[in-house]
Amino acid sequence: DAKTTQPNSMESNEEEPVHLPCNHSTISGTDYIHWYRQLPSQGPEYVIHGLTSNVNNRMASLAIAEDRKSSTLILHRATLRDAAVYYCILLNYGGSQGNLIFGKGTKLSVKP
């Protein structure tokens, strides 16, 4: 699976937008970009995924660069509950059984 690079940590203020970047310069044409997060003392939780177009759901938005070599997870209004480690993962269903390869992710801190 292709590698992703994320900042180790980021800080945000409550109720402000947060942009979490992810670089994946070796992404292949069939790799999907998935985001998961892990709240303290919990299992990972799916956030969003996309292939080429920007995606929105109730949790977040995913902005994908035109060349697909990077993407940004956008939390529109951070809450204290959004403090977690966010993982950007590339998944190619053709090449694996769908198992997730986690990196170190970005630890997001949210200040009140």
From residue 91, alpha-carbon distances to 11, 34, 110 in Å are: 27, 7, 28
Tell me the window of 7-15, 62-70, 72-80, 95-103 that interacts with another protein (CB under 8 A). 95-103
Task: Scan residues 36-65 and list those touching another protein (CB under 8 A).
Answer: 36, 38, 41-46, 49, 51
CA dist., res. 28 & res. 2, Å (int): 8
- In the complex with another protein, the residue whose CB is nearer, 51 or 65, is 51
- In the complex with another protein, the residue whose CB is nearer, 7 or 103, is 103
Place of tokens 């970047």: 21
What is the separation of C-alpha 21 from the centre of its chain, rounded to a whole number of angstroms?
8
- The reply on whether position 107 binds another protein by CB under 8 A is no
- The reply on whether position 68 binds another protein by CB under 8 A is no
Total residues in contact with another protein, by rule CB under 8 A: 23
Strands of the chain, DSSP E? 9-13, 18-23, 32-38, 45-50, 55-56, 61-64, 70-75, 84-91, 106-111
- The reply on whether position 28 binds another protein by CB under 8 A is no
Q: Contact residues for another protein (CB under 8 A)?
A: 32, 34, 36, 38, 41-46, 49, 51, 87, 93, 96-104
